[in-house]
Chain A
Amino acid sequence: MAQAEERSAGPASPGADRAAGREPVASAGARSLGPDEFRYDDSIVRMFFWATMLWGIVGLLVGVILAFQLAVPELNFLPQVAFGRLRPLHTNAVIFAFGGNAIFAAIYYSTPRLCKTPMASPLLGRLHFWGWQAVIVSAALTLPMGITQSKEYAELEWPIDLLIAVVWVGFFGVNFFWTLARRRERHLYVAIWFYIATIVTVAMLHVFNNLWIPVGLAELLTTGTMPSPEAMLKSYPVYAGVQDAFMQWWYGHNAVAFFLTTPFLGLMYYFLPKAADRPVFSYKLSIVHFWSLVFIYIWAGPHHLHYTALPQWASSLGMLFSLMLWMPSWGGMINGLLTLRGAWHKVATDPVLKFFVLAITFYGMSTFEGPMLSIKTVNSLSHYTDWTIAHVHSGTLGWNGFMIFGMAYWLAPRLFQTGGLYSQKLASLHFWTATIGILLYVISMYTAGVTQGLMWRAFDETGHLQYPDFIETVVQLMPFYWIRAVGGVLYLTGICLGVYNLFMTWRMRPSAYESPVGRAAPLDRNWTPAPLPASRLGASNTNFAKAGDQWLQGFWHRRLEARMARFTIWVLIAVGAASLFEIIPTFLIRSNVPTISSVQPYTPLELAGRDIYVAEGCYNCHSQMIRPIFAEVRRYGDYSKPGEFVYDHPFQWGSRRIGPDLAREGGRQSHFWHLLHFVQPAQVTTGSIMPGYTHLVGERTNFEDIRARVRAMAMLGVPYGEAVNDAPDMARAQALEIAQATIEQAQGLDILQGSLADHAAIVDAQDLSERKVIALIAYLQRLGVDLTRPAPAADPAAEPAGASAAEIVGSIGSLTQPGTTGGAR
């Protein structure tokens, strides 16, 4: 036992040796390495390690700011830091910067040691590191500028998408598999399997969810006209509506699965046995855990779209596989916790084990809750509420955050060759501060979520909605938003303590780091796997029975564990099955998306307004999807149909309702109401926590760019016809019409100007029509109105060329009449 404690106490480094009174390994001095020796390059691990800490603080700080913005809307004082633009920055920073750098640190540390060979290419490792930091910095620069695709966790625009693909596949993937190919240990340890699944599947998800047409580049290549930088960075996905939503949540859910789960399970299977100084509880269970998790997870995405316009069969499939996820997830949790058998007494004193135990416990809780939330009846209450936020944060703060810091506290003395951590007390303080922070966060959000869900569906004794004004449910949540913000501050404080502790540990480093030396003989190039054992059955049995008996002797998987290429192919088959069974039918069966003849493409101005809606991140607070649930239909109007979204590149269904649903917003309010609401939301709706969008009144629409936007949409099959070339003029005409109507509704320019205070000086209707807010109002007034509009007269000859410009512009005729769609709010 003493030996075991010594092993867990620190690395076999000079510092550790000295602290333990041992002589370090005899210096090799200038002696070169022997034929079976090699050096590990831990400098790349140190780089990813510090990047993890830096981006962890940044990402969580942004999260805390967002939490306070909901409690104090005045904190949305600049468009660049308003909630809608900042929230994607938070999610991308914590997932891909904090989590991403952590898993790279883990992989670059554990893979060489498990394979008994250094990483194949130090150059590729550096390119990977700097390329990934370039991706993160690009995200930090573009998202606050409103440059976004609006697809959750995949917001980054097309040039950054290309960079991600190059870095992930070209630098990281090549370096990783090249290392496996050069390994000196035949067996691929279970952690390596999880890394393989991560690399292969994330590449597949990223590519298929980021198929787009770059708006500006397409314009440049087809017409030779150079559009604005804003248009150059803009893209539209090739998918629309239901199919775009399906692809997005296939990606979104599996980003959780294969970026925040599988690599962290690999991390768990490697670092937990080392910290506990005992092998994983059951290696057999880890095999079953791996395959069932990889096979099942990939199917579960549609549970994010229950009761939406997604076909029922896909929704049911997602729910079924989500429920089955309980099994492998808890298998992994049990395997992790039972690895500590006989070592539980160390948990009380070892901060590394404390972090690991709590992380695995949160993994168990959130993987119980996830399948529960996928049950349709539960989902009908929880979806769009803060319950989802609580669920996500119990997973990310608890499972991912604590795993990262458990690993960091274990790694730091080894990476910095100090023989120990600067302060164990600080590590324990970090643990308790962050734990209390998580509890405050998730308990307040659970309460807020259930409160929201119940208030939205509450009816009074007369059969009317008990809380018809959406704002009533917002005001009710304020205390919980404050508690959540305090919880976030505590968690961030814990991380700051942790980073300080790690920084002080780094200061204890030796004057020069030493490259640790490994020793292993190269693998035999002429190796062939052991032949299958003979069947134990007699000659009287059938060949099928004999083959089954051979199978039962367990050699098939054992042989697979020694073969990198075959193993990777089987992983591809497992995750590819979902593509076969879910994606192909969704895309190819027309009956999945019944078309509606009255649904027409957006006008050029509405399209420009839609892009503003996307850029401002309105989808972060507003859904555009009325579920076929009685309370929703009473509140918002007729439920959403799949055919309403056939021109929505990208879809804007959203995943949360901090504000009301907007699917039937068109015609509900006057243009002037919208203008006032954008300038001073709290004055129009008392208690509103929506930020003011005064900059949209000041900034002007780039009408010439609209042609490029319409052309890109036409390339995607939206029937714009002649509207492509006439787009700027059509947009100006519609904008002027709306501007004139707005001034009329304000009962004069003076009153309108007075309501804008000092935010913008409007000279006349022409001047007002050029403001971005008019384009956005045009878009909002179009939402949901096509469903109740008469279908255009049948004109088969015109169909191939698309709708005429007059038809498209004519579609706005009725929109100056507010109140055409019913329902309470």
Chain B
Amino acid sequence: MSLSDIMGNLALDVYAQVALVLFLVSFAAISLNVLSRRGDQTRRDAALPLGDEPEYRSPPANINPARAGRGGAA
């Protein structure tokens, strides 16, 4: 008996329903776990992109004035 025969006899057409149940259970579990978290626990994490700008150390003379254009700040 080949692997194909074994798989063919397993009635895998229920996979669609099994997949759906799997998803719903996972979704509910993750949602409950995440949404029950206190708000102050995520405040710092959410602000990470706002505090990551590095420092520049060069003096202003580093800018080439001959190339300065007419643009305003973006």
Contact = CB atoms under 8 A, between A and B. Distances in A.
Given A10-B74, A273-B49, A554 B34 contact: yes
Contact of A114 (B19, B46, B48): B48
A14 B15 contact: no
B30 to A, nearest CB: 5
A191 B45 CA distance: 11
B50 A273 contact: yes
A13 interface: yes
Interface in A317-348: 317, 320-321, 324
Nearest to B62: A510
B54 A517 contact: yes
- Name the residue in B18, B19, B45, B54 with the highest tally of chain A Cβ atoms < 10 Å from its Cβ: B54
A317 B15 contact: yes
B19 A25 contact: no
B1 interface: no
A552 interface: yes
B45 A577 contact: no
A582 to B, nearest CB: 8
B62 A557 contact: no
Nearest to A556: B33
Interface string A537-557: 000000000000001111011
Interface stretch (A133-141, A286-294, A481-489, A781-789): A286-294
B34 to A, nearest CB: 5
A554 B38 contact: yes
Contact of A287 (B34, B56, B64): B34
B40 to A, nearest CB: 11
B42 A284 contact: yes
A577 B19 contact: yes
A278 B51 CA distance: 11
Contacts of A270: 49
Contacts of B56: 11-14, 17, 24-25, 417, 514, 516-517
A700 to B, nearest CB: 43
B52 A28 contact: no
A145 B44 CA distance: 54
Contacts of B49: 110, 113-114, 189, 191, 269-271, 273-274, 279
B58 A283 contact: no
Contact of A518 (B3, B41, B46, B54): B54
Contact of A511 (B43, B48, B62, B71): B62
B70 A313 contact: no
A419 interface: yes
B30 A288 contact: yes
B48 A185 contact: yes
A37 B46 CA distance: 23
Contacts of B30: 287-288, 291-292, 557
Contacts of A320: 16, 20
A27 B15 CA distance: 64
Nearest to B13: A313
A729 B74 CA distance: 69
A19 interface: yes
Nearest to B3: A588
A427 B43 CA distance: 33
Given A10-B74, A508-B69, A510-B62, A284 B37 contact: yes
B74 A27 contact: no
B7 A284 contact: no
Interface residues of A, number: 95
A351 B23 CA distance: 40
Contacts of B22: 577
Interface stretch (A243-251, A408-416, A659-667): A408-416
A277 interface: yes
Contacts of A514: 56-58, 62
A317 B44 CA distance: 39
Interface string B1-36: 001110110001101101110110011011111111
Contacts of B34: 284, 287-288, 554, 557
Given A15-B63, A320-B20, A589 B69 contact: no
A516 B69 contact: no
A279 B49 CA distance: 8
A413 B74 contact: yes
B59 to A, nearest CB: 5
A3 B65 CA distance: 27
Given A410-B74, A589-B8, A14 B58 contact: yes
Contacts of B59: 14, 24, 27
Interface in A91-124: 110, 113-114, 116
B13 to A, nearest CB: 5
Given A517-B56, A557-B34, A584-B7, A279 B46 contact: yes
A735 interface: no
A10 B73 contact: yes
Nearest to B19: A581
A822 B3 CA distance: 41
A516 to B, nearest CB: 4
A422 B69 CA distance: 6
Contact of A588 (B7, B16, B37): B7
Given A424-B74, A504-B69, A14 B63 contact: yes
Given A273-B49, A284-B34, A516 B71 contact: no
Contacts of B64: 509-511
A420 interface: yes
Contacts of A561: 45
A277 B70 CA distance: 25
A424 B63 contact: no
A36 B19 CA distance: 48
A558 B60 contact: no
Nearest to A192: B48
Nearest to B45: A187
Contact of B50 (A13, A274, A352): A274
Given A296-B23, A299-B19, A590 B32 contact: no
B60 A517 contact: no
Contacts of B58: 14, 24, 27, 510, 514
B55 A517 contact: yes
A779 B56 CA distance: 65
- Name the residue in B8, B13, B58 with the highest tally of chain A Cβ atoms < 10 Å from its Cβ: B58
A116 B46 contact: no
B74 A558 contact: no
A287 B19 CA distance: 21
Contact of A28 (B12, B13, B57, B70): B57
Contact of A279 (B7, B32, B47): B47
B57 to A, nearest CB: 4
Contacts of A505: 69, 71
B72 A26 contact: no
Contacts of A589: 4, 7-8, 12
A588 B71 contact: no
A554 B71 contact: no
Contact of A420 (B13, B15, B35, B74): B74
A273 B37 CA distance: 22
A18 B60 contact: yes
B73 A421 contact: yes
19 contacts: A10-B74, A14-B59, A18-B63, A25-B55, A113-B54, A185-B48, A279-B43, A283-B42, A508-B67, A508-B71, A511-B63, A517-B56, A518-B52, A551-B29, A551-B32, A554-B38, A581-B19, A590-B4, A590-B8
Given A12-B55, A283-B45, A588-B8, 10 more contacts: A287-B30, A292-B30, A317-B15, A510-B63, A511-B63, A516-B54, A518-B52, A553-B37, A584-B12, A585-B12
Give the 7 A-B residue pairs with the shortest CB-CB distance, closest first. Answer: A554-B37, A516-B54, A421-B74, A588-B7, A9-B73, A113-B52, A283-B42
